[in-house]
Amino acid sequence: MLCVTGFLAWKCWHLSGEVVWADYIEKQCVITQDMLTHPPEGFGPRDLAERLRFLMGYYSAHQASVGSQVGWIVKRDYERTLTNAVALFRNLTTNDLGSDPEAWIQKYGR
C-alpha cells in the first residue's frame, strides 16, 4: 500500500509540474498570437523577432513534457503560433527566408 501511495504522490507531483508548464506556454502562445492578429502601434519585425526569441527559448528549456498528452497539445499550439509568426514576417518585410523562425530571428532580432 505504501508503494502505491508513493507512486501516486510522485505522479501527482510530476503532473502538476507539467500542467504549470503547459499553462504558461499556452498563455505565452495566446499573447503572441494576439500580437500577430492585432499588432500594437509601431510593431515591426524587430519586435516580432524578440517576442519569438523569448517564446522559443522558454519552450526549448521546458520541452521535457512534450511526450505527454498535455505536451502534445501545447506543442501543436506552439507550432501554430510559429507558423503564423513566419507569415506575419513575410507580410511585414516582403522577404522570404523560409519557414524556420530562427532564420527570421537572426535577420531581424537585436
pLDDT of residue 40: 84
Delimit the domains of the chain by residue range: 18-108
Q: What would the 3-class secondary structure string for the chain be?
A: CHHHHHHHHHHHHHHHHHHHHHHHHHHHHHHHHHHHHCCCCCCCHHHHHHHHHHHHHHHHHCHHHHHCHHHHHHHHHHHHHHHHHHHHHHHHHCCCCCCCHHHHHHHHCC
Task: Output the CA angle 84-77-61, nearest 5 degrees.
Answer: 105
pLDDT of residue 65: 58
Helices 45-61, 101-108: crossing angle, 10 deg rounding: 130
pTM of the model: 0.79
pLDDT tens for the chain, residues 1 to 110: 777 777 677 767 666 777 778 888 888 899 999 988 888 888 889 999 999 999 999 888 876 655 677 778 888 899 999 999 999 999 889 888 999 999 999 999 87
pLDDT of residue 66: 56
Helix/strand/coil for 94: coil
